[in-house]
Amino acid sequence: MKRLDKRRRQEGKTNYTKRLILLKAGCPRLVVRKSNKYIILQIVESVRAQDKVLHTVSTKDLLKHGWPADKVGSLKSLSAAYLAGLLIGKKASDIKGRIILDSGLIPSTKASRVYASVKGVADSGIKIPFDEKIVPSDEMINKYDFVSKVKEGLK
């Protein structure tokens, strides 16, 4: 196990110090990951350091909820991240208590896509601690005119 830890640390895939802190919290985690085309959100619960995925949403799922097919290249935008947060919040309405953010190795940047997804989860009614100063503004999220239409399709 120790050899595996060193390998994942050297490859830059896992920050074990941060992971230990998140696991000690004992709460489900909102895991946010970025790929080349999409943003993937998962709600993960850990039992004895074994992760179990409870809910998963990708911004690709927004195409089923009214996202225009000609705007498929913008599925990594702030708006897409916010709407994916709303969607996973709707799916995870059965979770009681609070969840915490696990951004992995993504740097913490003010008004980023990570915090847009956190704002979406919070707007869906799930308790997640965050600072209002760090999330993007409504003007930044509602940049596209079709965002309100997709938002209505999610409810």
Which CATH number does the domain housing residue 41 bear?
3.30.420.100
Taking CA atoms, 42 is separated from 1, 28, 141, in Å, by: 25, 10, 21
Which single residue is written with the structure tokens 């911004």?
Answer: 59
Its domain, for residue 114, covers 27-154
Q: How many domains does the chain have?
A: 1
Q: Is the pLDDT of residue 2 over 70?
A: no
Q: Which of 7-21, 57-71, 74-88 has the lowest average pLDDT?
A: 7-21
Q: Is the pLDDT of residue 24 over 70?
A: yes
Q: Note whether residue 3 is domain-resident.
A: no
Q: Note whether residue 10 is domain-resident.
A: no
Mean of pLDDT over the chain: 88
Indicate the burial class of 111 (C-beta count within 10 angstroms; 0-12, 13-18, 19 or more): middle
Q: Note whether residue 2 is domain-resident.
A: no
